[in-house]
Amino acid sequence: MKEAKTKKKVFEHQFSHIDESGAARMVDVSAKSETKRVAVARGEIELGPKIAAAVAAQSVEKGDVLGVARVAGIMAAKNASRIIPLSHPLFLSACEVNFELDSSSSRLTAICRVVANGLTGVEMEALCGVSGALLTVYDMCKAIDKAMVIGPIRLLEKSGGKSGLWQYKEAK
């Protein structure tokens, strides 16, 4: 078996998910303090009038769009570490997904709030929750019209940990 060659430092700046040789790594969070972590993410899907009316009337052929999308969002949040390669698997204390349908603009908004007591934040879990919910809406409604548009998706706020509270601020 050949001896591994010593790798030289590739990056002058140290990135948290890249080691000195440039290889990907999961960040070591073992020295962090466990705190309550909360994150809220929001995303939208442009449905079009026909789909918006069907969702509002609960008449989509595949069933209860928002009920299924809510469960899908929660499942996506719980499985974020399976989707995001270098994120940490977390034990979630709470996760909720809610929807707001604006029939006048034919837009559906999904909001995912995630809570955990842990060593690292739950931003990725909240973002995965919103994404999973919106993708499920698309899947359940695509037989009506495939021209739906998902986005924007954004983190609205996060709290806990060393950096404390952060809130999204609209550009002025």
At 14 the pLDDT is 63
Stretches where the chain sits below pLDDT 50 are: 6-8, 10-11
pLDDT at 22: 79
At 67 the pLDDT is: 98
**Amino acid sitting at position 87:** S
- Tens of pLDDT, residue by residue over 59-88, are 999 999 999 999 999 999 999 999 998 899
102 annotated active-site: no
Evaluate whether 115 touches 37 at the Cβ level (below 8 Å).
yes
Catalytic hit among 19, 28, 102, 139: 139
* Extents of the domains making up the chain: 35-159
CATH of 35-159, one of 3.40.50.170, 3.40.718.10, 3.40.50.300, 3.30.70.640: 3.30.70.640
Q: Per-residue DSSP letters for 20-70?
A: TTS-B-----TTSPPEEEEEEEEEEEE--HHHHHHHHTT--TT--HHHHHH
The pLDDT value given to residue 138? 98
pLDDT at position 45? 98
